[in-house]
Amino acid sequence: MTAADAHPGAAAPADLGALALAEVVACHAFFVDWYAGRLGEAALTDRLTAFSPDFLRIAPDGREVRFADLDGFLSARRAAKPDNFAIRIEDGHTVWQDDRAALVSYVEYQQTGALETRRRSTALFLACPTAPHGVLWRHLQETTIQPNGSAGKTPSAE
């Protein structure tokens, strides 16, 4: 039974997983333009409205970046990448969701010229109708995928 079934005429709750994955793509498109120096300072202020004040990012190396650090963290990286820098998001899917939050997973590919890196990320989003895509980033865990694809795999006994 859906919310619309329980309350005839009521709108079904938003698919928070789909909203979260749309936000992931939009955020990384911002990073490409921001890191290449193609956006003005106001773009960062707008982008930060998609993050919860309680946001925590755990980088692949284990370092933590909190919401209070985001402005400085992203400002320091502005214009740090060449024009051929690109990010693509693949394998995005919803791990879990309810009407207040969604947990999604995706693989982020970063490419600068011939160099490509990959990371598998899991992100928790909170519903927020006033956020740009209807959700706020709350928690992000990133893990580097080694060039041989071994991230998260147990070595074989061979």
Q: What Å distances lie between residue 48 and 30, 41, 53, 72, CA to CA?
A: 11, 12, 10, 12
> So where are the chain's domains?
15-145
Average of pLDDT values for 35-41? 90
Q: What is the pLDDT of residues 60-110, one digit of tens each?
A: 999 999 999 999 999 988 877 777 899 999 999 999 999 999 999 999 999
What contacts 131, CB < 8 A, 6 or more positions away?
A: 23, 49, 50
Coarse DSSP helix, strand, coil percentages of the chain, rounded to the nearest 5 percent? 25, 40, 35
Q: What percent of the chain has pLDDT over 70?
A: 85
**pLDDT score at 84:** 87
Q: Per-residue pLDDT averaged across 136-148, rounded?
A: 94
Domain 15-145 classification at class level: alpha beta
More confident residue, 156 or 36: 36
Residue 113, pLDDT above cutoff 90: no
Task: Calculate the alpha carbon distances from 51 to 18, 126, 158 in Å.
Answer: 17, 9, 45
Size of the chain in residues = 158
The answer, yes or no, to whether residue 10 has pLDDT greater than 80, is: no
Inform me whether the pLDDT recorded for 7 exceeds 60.
no
27, containing H or E segment: helix 16-35
